Amino acid sequence: MAKLAFLGLGLMGTPIAARLIEAGHDLTVWNRTSGKTRPLVDQGASVASSPAEAVAGADAVFTMVATPEALEQVLFGDEGVVGALSPGQRVIDMSTVGPQMIASVARRLPSHVTLVDAPVRGSVPEASTGRLEIYVGASQAAFDYVQPLLDPLGNVHHVGGPGAGAATKVVVNLTLGVAITALGEALALADTLGIERTTLLDVLVDSPIGPIVRGKRANIESGTYPPTFKLSLALKDLRLVGESAAGSGPDLRLAAASQSWLEQAARDGAADLDFSAVVATILEARS
């Protein structure tokens, strides 16, 4: 059993933290909105009044926040963790903030603290059941330490040295954004060609975009998009893709087109809906 701190209890952070408690760890939690800590307190977690307080005495500190700005505040803002970290502690960031942000954090953390980037693929159902895909960027020694902590959360992949986890997640998110917008455009084309929606979805289940069709079909058929992965976060992730390719990087035309669709959906009021709501935006643009 390890003594852990967990900072950030959003849609993903809460079920991940719950699984760490179920695995037998001694967990202290903090969240900007303190009310979100109550379910975890009921499971045995302790609550800290600030990020700095949460990390005191912890073997490892988990962060799971929505944006690079939020991570900046948790780590380096008023009552952030940076001044409270002790030699030998590990900071395991599971947020999707991009390789540039991870490099910036690594430069500014004390030299006696190890940063591990471990962003995840999956949404609330996978987080709740321990089926996340976790991309870890770390030295071999750091990976050997954090792997037993991460194992209850899903499939743990050591993808390279420090920063490789964040970089891998950006690449994965490019494919996710392109896949969901490809689904929307396929449905729009099918409508134009007079193909019945249910028939087409049956066909697309066995196509190259089959996994996302299976995952989001119920949303599309019902016309409702309860968030398991908010569209605003998918849009943030595609912006990170663009930032990662800026300058001398490749010309990512599909990523740019997908970002444009997500931006339109956000303007249309879908930012807090599931990211699959972009399909509705694409279909409405046809009419």
Q: How far apart are CA 11 and CA 65, in angstroms?
A: 10
What phi and psi, each to the nearest 5 degrees, are found at residue 139?
-65, 165
For 192, the domain range is 168-286
Question: What residues have CB less than 8 Å from 192, skipping those under 6 apart?
Answer: 286
114 shares a domain with 92: yes
In the numeric block, the tokens 């912006």 are attached to 239
Give the domain CATH number at 109.
3.40.50.720
Q: How far apart are CA 80 and CA 71, in angstroms?
A: 10
- At 286 the pLDDT is 72
What phi and psi, each to the nearest 5 degrees, are found at residue 267?
-65, -30
Nearest CA to 187 out of 176, 164, 203, 211 is that of 203
H/E stretch holding 47 reads strand 46-47
57 shares a domain with 22: yes
| Active-site annotation, residues | 169
Question: Sign of the C-alpha dihedral, residues 136, 137, 140, 145?
Answer: negative
Structure tokens at 162: 């420090």
Inter-residue contact 234 to 261 (CB < 8 Å)? no
Give the domain CATH number at 268.
1.10.1040.10
Question: What residues have CB less than 8 Å from 212, skipping those under 6 apart?
Answer: 176, 179, 180, 183
277 shares a domain with 139: no
Last residue of a domain, one of 126, 160, 194: 160
14 shares a domain with 146: yes
151 shares a domain with 51: yes
13 shares a domain with 124: yes
**Number of domains the chain contains:** 2
Per-residue confidence of the chain (287 residues) as pLDDT tens digits? 899 999 999 999 999 999 999 999 999 999 999 889 999 999 999 999 999 999 999 999 999 999 999 999 999 999 999 999 999 999 999 999 999 999 999 999 999 999 999 999 999 999 999 999 999 999 999 999 999 999 999 999 999 999 999 999 999 999 999 999 999 999 999 999 999 999 999 999 999 999 999 999 999 999 999 999 999 999 999 999 999 998 878 999 999 999 999 999 999 999 999 999 999 999 999 76
Inter-residue contact 37 to 47 (CB < 8 Å)? yes
Q: 172 to each of 98, 166, 179, how far by Cα in Å?
A: 12, 10, 11
Last residue of a domain, one of 132, 160, 188: 160
173 shares a domain with 281: yes
Alpha helix (H) residue ranges in 79-209: 99-108, 124-129, 140-150, 164-193, 197-204
- At 34 the pLDDT is 86
Nearest CA to 122 out of 30, 33, 15 is that of 15
- At 287 the pLDDT is 62
- Would strands 120-121 and 132-137 be described as parallel, antiparallel, or unpaired? antiparallel
- At 113 the pLDDT is 96
What residues are paired with 154 via a beta bridge? Answer: 132
In the numeric block, the tokens 């502690």 are attached to 89
234 shares a domain with 192: yes
282 shares a domain with 193: yes
